[in-house]
Amino acid sequence: MADTSSCAADDSTRVASTRKSKKSRAATGTELRRQRNREHQARYKTKQKNRVLDLENGIERLQQEIQELKLQRQIISIGVPGRQTKWGVAAEYFRLFRNGLRAPSRMNLPVGTVAAEFPVQRHFLQTTMTSDVVGSLGCGVDALLQNWRLITLCHPDVDIQLMRLQAGPGERVVAYTRGTHTITEDTLRYAFPHLNDGSNDSAWLASRLLGYKLVINGCTHLLWDADAGRMISIQYTADILTPMLQLLGNLDEVSKLFSKARVNPQCRFCGMSLAIFAGRISKGFRAGNHCCRMQTIPFEQTLYMLFHLSIRFVFSSQD
């Protein structure tokens, strides 16, 4: 009788163990299926995300191509098929300098050496500009190249897209652009060196700026000499105040940012400190030459511009 009870107990134990084992295997199988489903869903989401990114990149490329085709159509519709016209020269100028002057070589080179690094751009300027063409940093092709070199040094990822061209007064061509660049350590070092003075306010400003991508609308006036068939002046201005005010949020911080900066609120290089800076990059640059004086903007005028910009900013915030 005892043996029978023992056998029955053993059988019951084996049955219970078998059931437990089956349940365990079933649970394991269920967990494996869930894990495979999760992995499948993750792969699907990754694939969908990559597809969206590819579509966005494709749309951006198409928009750029559309803009370029619009410009070509605009030039052709004016009846100017050749490049050696004020319309063709203006369009080609922004095409060649869309990303500034990028080169892996060292920065502190004489003007002639810097210019020689970019034979295509230099040849274009020599064949489409007068020898004393007036730019933002002075006169001549070398001064134009130097200005673009400084822009690229301060903004390594600069991208200036030509939006449209229109006729200005006389023989002027007015070019409207939209530029983008990321504020990097080079930007802070060369354009806003006063933010490295060790103060807490400057450190806070630098931390807010670093890594921020600016979108800047600009306007360039190109003056054409019809008799010479060349450009005699290229002057640009850009609105850097609006994006800076949107980033920093108040006029006090914006005024501190530009108080000792090497760029003014119109995106032009300025100040004696920059003349020294430019001299280190280009030994051939002469700050004392009457054609090479860098334009400055009084700080009071900067505050005046900030005041009017603040009014625009307040009304736009209410919309």
The pLDDT of residue 285 is 31
Q: What local confidence, expressed as pLDDT, does residue 119 receive?
A: 87
Q: What's the pLDDT score for residue 123?
A: 92
Kindly report which listed range (13-22, 145-154, 266-275, 300-309) carries the lowest average pLDDT score.
Answer: 300-309
Question: Which pLDDT band, with edges at 50, 70 and 90, does 162 fall under?
Answer: very high
pLDDT at 314 over 50: no
Q: Is the pLDDT of residue 90 over 90?
A: yes
Domain extents in the chain? 1-56, 78-318
Q: What is the pLDDT of residue 73?
A: 66
Report which of residues 206 and 283 the model is more confident about: 206
Instruction: Tell me the average pLDDT across 162-182.
Output: 93
Q: What pLDDT is stored for residue 172 in this prediction?
A: 94
User: What is the pLDDT at residue 9?
Assistant: 56
pLDDT of residue 264: 84
- Residue with the bigger pLDDT between 310 and 120: it is 120
Of the spans 196-205, 211-220, 304-313, which averages the highest pLDDT?
A: 211-220
Residue percentage of the chain with pLDDT more than 70: 68
Does 4 have pLDDT greater than 60? no
Output the average pLDDT for the chain.
76
| 3-state secondary structure labels for all residues of the chain | CHHHHHHHHHHHHHHHHHHHHHHHHHHHHHHHHHHHHHHHHHHHHHHHHHHHHHHHHHHHHHHHHHHHHHHHHHHHHCCCCCCCCHHHHHHHHHHHCCCCCCCCCCCCCCHHHHHHCCHHHHHHHHHHEEEEEECCCCECHHHHHHHHHHHHHHCCCCEEEEEEEEECCCCEEEEEEEEEEECCHHHHHHHCHHHHCCCHHHHHHHHHHCCCEEEEEEEEEEEEECCCCEEEEEEEEEECHHHHHHHHCCHHHHHHHHHCCCECCCCCECCHHHHHHHHHHCCCCCCCCCCCCCCCCCHHHHHHHHHHHHHHHHHHHHC
| pLDDT band at residue 273 using 50, 70 and 90 as cut-offs | very low
pLDDT tens digits for 107-161? 444 444 454 568 889 999 999 999 999 998 889 999 999 889 989 988 899 999 9
The region of weakest confidence among 51-55, 147-151, 277-281 is: 277-281
Q: According to the model, what pLDDT value does residue 91 have?
A: 92
Q: What is the pLDDT of residues 60-84, one digit of tens each?
A: 778 777 876 776 666 555 544 445 7
Grade residue 42 by pLDDT with cuts at 50, 70 and 90.
Answer: confident
pLDDT of residue 7: 56
Task: Flag whether pLDDT at 97 surpasses 70.
Answer: yes
What architecture is the 78-318 domain classified under in CATH? Roll (3.10)
The predicted structure's pLDDT at residue 30: 80
pLDDT value at position 10? Answer: 58
